[in-house]
Each structure stands twice: as C-alpha cells, then as structure tokens.
Amino acid sequence: MIRQLIARLFWAVSPWRLVVERVPDRPTLFIGAPHTSNWDLVLMLGIAWRLRIKLRWLGKHDLFTGWKGPVMR
C-alpha cells in the first residue's frame, strides 16, 4: 500500500510518463541492461510498485555489503 502511494507520487512529479500495455499472463523475464544512469533502480521500483509487480533481481555483491546491505535487501 505504501509502495503504491510512493510510486503514484513519483510518477505525478516525474518528468517521465508511465505508459502501460497489456502484459502476457504467463511468467515473463525482463532484462534491463546495460545500466545507463543511476536512475535505473528508481525507475524499476517506480514501475514495479505502481503496477504491483513482484520483483526478483540480481546485483553484484558490492551492493549488499556495508551500509547498503540492509537497504538493498
């Protein structure tokens, strides 16, 4: 619930617009690479939270060490 509210707020103030098309009913794999900016994570979360998509993602081990570990998990 809170994630969707955050996503709605993000898309309301964002210069980008989220355009949604019908997605397949079967399990689907989406690959977003290469990373082009630091906004990739923010956009991924904004889309997933707005559309209620359950995410599973991979990141290099450096993302999960130190202070970033609890945030990224």
Instruction: Report if residue 37 sits inside a domain.
Output: yes
Q: Whole-model pTM?
A: 0.66
Q: What is the pLDDT of residue 68?
A: 79
Rounded distance, CA 24 to CA 44, Å?
A: 19
The residue segments making up the domain with residue 41 are: 2-19+32-72
Instruction: Report if residue 44 sits inside a domain.
Output: yes
Instruction: Report if residue 24 sits inside a domain.
Output: no
Express each pLDDT in 36-69 by its tens digit. 788 888 888 888 888 888 888 778 888 888 887 8
Instruction: Report if residue 26 sits inside a domain.
Output: no
| Local confidence band at 70 (pLDDT 50, 70, 90 cut-offs) | confident
| Local confidence band at 13 (pLDDT 50, 70, 90 cut-offs) | very high
Q: What is the pLDDT of residue 51?
A: 85
- Number of domains within the chain: 1
Instruction: Report if residue 25 sits inside a domain.
Output: no
Rounded distance, CA 72 to CA 25, Å?
A: 28
